[in-house]
């Protein structure tokens, strides 16, 4: 039986994130992957990638880029950028990386949040 409620999903993500990443760390090489399955519907896998560190320590930006590129390069992956309405997409490290691998924007989507601000 799968996880059914929103609260159960949120709790499971928090528990597994702590197990994978550990205390005091911001991200890990190990992915946290959610798989959604329903009879008669195509399988959907969602992988949440770490946010680019704002003030990266030595080697952290290269490490982040390496992890991210390994997931966004395959041409069958859809790239979802979630940005706050007040942010500039041109300053987003992830948006620039998406542009590198999907220059024509055929598989890149942008979701703008906090539009009321």
Digit-coded pLDDT (tens) for 67-98: 889 988 998 888 988 888 888 777 788 888 99
Domain count, the chain: 2
Query: Residue 41: is its pLDDT beyond 60?
Result: yes
Residues 55 and 106 in one domain: yes
- Give residue 53's Cα distance to chain centre: 13
SS3 40: coil
The mean of the pLDDT values for the chain is 80
In the prediction, which pLDDT does 55 show?
A: 65
Query: Residue 2: is its pLDDT beyond 80?
Result: no
For 57, residues 6+ apart whose C-beta sits below 8 A from its C-beta are none
Which structural domain, as residue segments, surrounds residue 103?
51-117
Residues 67 and 114 in one domain: yes
In the prediction, which pLDDT does 58 show?
A: 76
């Amino acid at each position: 039986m799968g996880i059914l409620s929103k609260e159960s999903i949120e709790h499971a993500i928090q528990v597994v994130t702590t197990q994978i990443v550990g205390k005091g760390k911001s991200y890990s090489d190990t992915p946290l992957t959610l798989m959604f399955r329903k009879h008669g519907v195509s399988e959907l896998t969602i992988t949440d990638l770490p946010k680019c560190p704002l003030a990266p320590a030595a080697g952290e930006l290269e490490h982040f880029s390496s992890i991210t590129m390994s997931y966004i390069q395959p041409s069958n992956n859809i790239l979802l950028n979630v940005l706050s309405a007040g942010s500039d997409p041109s300053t987003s490290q992830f948006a620039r990386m998406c542009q590198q691998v999907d220059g024509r924007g055929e598989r890149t989507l942008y979701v703008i949040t906090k539009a009321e601000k």
